[in-house]
Amino acid sequence: MVAFVPLALVPALGVVQGGFEPDAWVWAGALAAWACAVTVVLTAAPGALRRAWPWVAATGGLLLWTLASTSWSADAAQSLLDARRTLVYAAVVLALVLLARQDATRVLVLATHAAVSGLVVYALARYLLGPRRQDEFEAHLLNQPLGYANGVGILAALGILLALGISSGTAPRLLRAAAGATVPPLALALQLTGSHASWLALGVGIALAGFLEPAPLRLLTTAAAVAPPVAVLVWLGWYSDYATSVAAPHVGGQALCLAAAGASATAAAAVASVRPEAREASRRTRRLLALAAVVAALGGAAAVAGSGSTEPRASYWHVAWHDEYGNHAILGSGAGTFGGYWARSGRSIDLGGALDAHSLYLETLAELGPAGLALLAAMLLVPLRGALRSRRVPYLPAAAGAYAAFLVHAGLDWDWELPAVVVTGLCCAAAVALTEIGLQRPLGTMPLALLFVAACVEGASALAGVVSHATPAAGPKSEKAPRSGAFQEHVAADGYGW
């Protein structure tokens, strides 16, 4: 049942600009809330609520704090929009918890990988086989159907991490080969997005997955098996100049598509020939892996620091810290208000418009204050609390690595405004948090009634958004903003290569 969340929501949100527009929040939130209500009605022991209630509570707290920020916000209409988006995430978390059953980790990893791979491979095929057009803001980078190249990039990175976890596990050979076959096209898609931060997130995810994996030789062997076709295909994508502004690429889209198919077949055969190694790592090996993970994290931090000196992100972060948080250090300026501060800073004249600070954590601190950042941290970190203890659960290291990649990328971009990306990250988080559920004691009548009421309120609140015509914008005139203008304002100033 829990597979419904990634299989239904990730592709559906992905094909409508990643769910950026408020129209998508209406049906996405209502659908997740409806699943919660049906689950409460049909069973007296819904999912893993007894185990995961801190995650649900933290998410609900963030939603309520975001909604409360409308009372002190510099732009209440934008704060209400942010609350509507956060409502979708709260409904998704509740649905994941209530729908989870025994073996939820395996089911979620397989379903999330299928959903993400299907979406990204569809995007890649459409990009390579369709006419080559220059986007006004993203040039020739792979950005559709999300409309944002970095969003496609992080989804591809998450798909690769999940695929490596499945193909290096003890699943049947056919399933492992099928997962391995998705790695080359996902890597090519990542290359064609030009997203450096997604490559960084991928590296961090692989390091953490290797550290948590009880038998890391399986992961390393599988990665080595798929590395040759992946490396050739990524080099070919780079050499082709297909994602650059050259008039005539060195390699055409159809040729790249055929190369991707050949690389997929090669990777599948390589994975099928690998015998899973069940031997656990020694203490010395685990220490070396821990050291490698630390080095990778420090290297990533250094890369982030160096990249942070480039524009326009350095200016985004400066405005969020000095202009916004500096003047509202207690409560923040209100959810969704960064765009107004950016417009008033005068930097938009040279760097273009921007609605978000391109860092979930800094923006949350600036808009919701320390309390809001603490609630966000609780929501994002609570699912990881048992990761080390449960690392022997099949596929958990891959899920934890993918979730870590999402957390890294969210600190460098505006992933929070793309529900397709966030729902994928939450599904990975649930795969880590909802292990060893076992048989749950039935809940009493009052808790079930409260859960049903909460699900109905969430669904009704999501549906109520249909009467609103507000869109994300940089000022109080958001009620009259054109439908596509806000999304274009995001990508207009965004530096390529992130």
Q: Measuring CA to CA, how many Å separate 336 from each of 16, 382, 425?
A: 21, 25, 21
pLDDT for the residue 153 = 96
pLDDT for the residue 10 = 97
pLDDT at 235 over 50: yes
Which residue's entry shows tokens 């990328």?
409
What does the buried/exposed string (b/e) look like for 250-272 if buried means 16 or more CB atoms within 10 Å of the residue's CB? eeebeebbebbeebbebbbebbb
Chain segment 82-111, per-residue pLDDT in tens: 999 999 999 999 999 999 888 889 999 999
Chain segment 435-483, per-residue pLDDT in tens: 877 556 777 788 888 889 999 999 999 999 888 878 887 654 433 333 4
Q: Measuring CA to CA, how many Å separate 173 from each of 96, 166, 209, 416, 436?
A: 29, 10, 21, 36, 25
Token pair of 322 as six digits: 């000095």
pLDDT for the residue 286 = 58
For 135, phi then psi, to 5°, come to -75, 145
pLDDT at 52 over 60: yes
Structure-model confidence comparison of residues 496 and 197, the more confident one? 197
Token pair of 334 as six digits: 């209100």
Q: Model pTM? A: 0.91
- Which band of pLDDT confidence, cut at 50, 70 and 90, is reported for residue 288? low
Q: For the chain, give the percent of residues with pLDDT over 70.
A: 87
Chain segment 141-163, per-residue pLDDT in tens: 999 999 999 999 999 999 999 99
- Which band of pLDDT confidence, cut at 50, 70 and 90, is reported for residue 282? low
Computed over every residue of the chain, the mean pLDDT equals 87
Identify the three-state secondary structure at position 50: helix
Average pLDDT over residues 287-315: 62
Give the single-character DSSP code of 321: I
Alpha helices in 69-182 (DSSP H): 76-99, 104-129, 149-167, 173-181
pLDDT for the residue 303 = 57
pLDDT at 486 over 60: no
pLDDT at 493 over 50: no
Structure-model confidence comparison of residues 485 and 273, the more confident one? 273
Contact criterion met (CB below 8 Å) for 392 and 75:
no
pLDDT for the residue 298 = 60
* CA-closest candidate to residue 38, choices 98, 108, 112, 86: 98
318: CB partners within 8 A, 6+ apart:
none
Please state, as a whole number, how many other Cβ atoms lie within 10 Å of the Cβ of residue 310.
Answer: 12
Helix, strand, coil percentages in the chain from 3-state DSSP, rounded to 5 = 70, 0, 30
CA 448 to CA 454: how far, in whole Å?
A: 10
Please state, as a whole number, how many other Cβ atoms lie within 10 Å of the Cβ of residue 119.
Answer: 25
CA 58 to CA 42: how far, in whole Å?
A: 26
pLDDT at 195 over 80: yes
Chain segment 385-436, per-residue pLDDT in tens: 888 888 888 899 999 999 999 999 999 999 999 999 999 999 999 999 988 7
Q: For the chain, give the percent of residues with pLDDT over 90.
A: 60
Q: For residue 22, give the amino acid letter.
A: P
Helices 253-273 and 216-240: angle between axes, nearest 10 degrees: 170
pLDDT for the residue 399 = 96
Q: Is 346 exposed, middle or buried (0-12, 13-18, 19+ CB in 10 A)?
A: exposed
List, in sequence order, every residue forming a beta bridge with 139; answer none if it has no partner: 135
Average pLDDT over residues 223-249: 92
- Which band of pLDDT confidence, cut at 50, 70 and 90, is reported for residue 213? confident
To which H or E segment does residue 483 belong? Answer: none
CA 49 to CA 46: how far, in whole Å?
A: 7
Contact criterion met (CB below 8 Å) for 92 and 356:
no
For 189, phi then psi, to 5°, come to -60, -40
Which residue's entry shows tokens 């659960």?
393
Structure-model confidence comparison of residues 87 and 496, the more confident one? 87
Q: Measuring CA to CA, how many Å separate 288 from each of 25, 209, 298, 396, 459?
A: 45, 14, 15, 21, 49
Average pLDDT over residues 164-185: 93
* CA-closest candidate to residue 300, choices 157, 146, 156, 152: 157
Structure-model confidence comparison of residues 38 and 473, the more confident one? 38
Which residues in 177-331 belong to E strands, given as ranges?
A: none
Contact criterion met (CB below 8 Å) for 8 and 110:
no
Contact criterion met (CB below 8 Å) for 141 and 382:
no
Give the single-character DSSP code of 139: B
Is the four-CA dihedral 16, 20, 22, 28 of positive or negative sign?
Answer: positive
To which H or E segment does residue 21 belong? Answer: none
pLDDT for the residue 284 = 63
Please state, as a whole number, how many other Cβ atoms lie within 10 Å of the Cβ of residue 362.
Answer: 19
Chain segment 338-365, per-residue pLDDT in tens: 999 998 888 877 777 888 999 999 999 9
C-alpha dihedral (403, 409, 410, 414), degrees to nearest 10: -140
CA 69 to CA 82: how far, in whole Å?
A: 10
- Which band of pLDDT confidence, cut at 50, 70 and 90, is reported for residue 334? very high
* CA-closest candidate to residue 43, choices 485, 439, 483, 473: 439
